Amino acid sequence: MSTSTFVLVPGAWHSSACWQRVVPLLEEQGHRILTPELLGMGSDPTPPSEIKLASWADQVADIIREEEKAVILVGHSRGGIIISEVAERVPEKIKLLVYLTAFLVPSGGTLLNTASKGGDQGMLVHNTDGTTSLAPDKIVPLLYNTTAPEWAERAISLTSPEPPNIFTTPLHLTDDRFGRVSRAYIECKQDNAISLATQRSMQSRLPCKYVITMDTDHSPFFSAPSELAANLIDLASKQ
């Protein structure tokens, strides 16, 4: 069986620890897994107020450049706009972009403009330094509504403030770079953060080669890790 290198990019407010249930399942099958800690998130000491979307796209692109072979790049939720920008930078190093109930935004668009068509903006707390946090009472009902309680509670402790301006930064993508990389979308039917209708609206604007449907909440890395890992392995087998 051929193996792949996966690069897993977390969504807003989340650290690389969100992948902890999925990584061992992929590694058991011989795949190489990279879970970069985005600058300013989780354990990274960079002040979040200094981070821009380009900071993350450059960071992940630099990691991918160091790999010998092309990777499968997975982005969850807000991670979708990061992986799109990475594909614009290093299209030749990416075999497949996987949008895990993620924002698939066209060039010139922003996450906020797309999110306004679905989701609950009441989940945000605006901090004095320009960052945003998740309202504690919104985290489980919006992100972890089909996740086992013990994992949902653990997830709350793993969140951290999101840098400013990420949601309002327009993407700069071209057909001959971003557009030449194959895309897959994993949609989640019980997602209360990005509605299924919004997920499918994004796909209609930027169609994907593969579409997988999961009957889970917004966070299948905790609610259905085995199924998610199996879906990622299946996508890898088609490359």
The tens digit of pLDDT for each residue in 183-203 reads 999 999 999 999 999 999 999
CA distances from 192 to 146, 162, 205 (A): 10, 19, 21
The tens digit of pLDDT for each residue in 67-82 reads 999 999 999 999 999 9
Q: Domain residues of the chain, as ranges?
A: 5-237
The pTM is what? 0.96
Q: What are phi and psi of 232, to 5 degrees?
A: -65, -40
Average pLDDT over the chain reads 94
The tens digit of pLDDT for each residue in 6-62 reads 999 999 999 999 999 999 999 999 999 999 999 999 999 999 889 999 999 999 999
The torsion region of residue 134 among left (phi > 0), alpha (psi -120 to 50) and beta comes to beta
Asked whether residue 120 carries a pLDDT value surpassing 60, the answer given is no
Task: Single out the residue of 185, 192, 17 nearest to residue 103, CA to CA.
Answer: 185
CATH assignment of 5-237, given 3.40.50.300, 3.40.30.10, 3.40.50.1820, 3.60.10.10? Answer: 3.40.50.1820
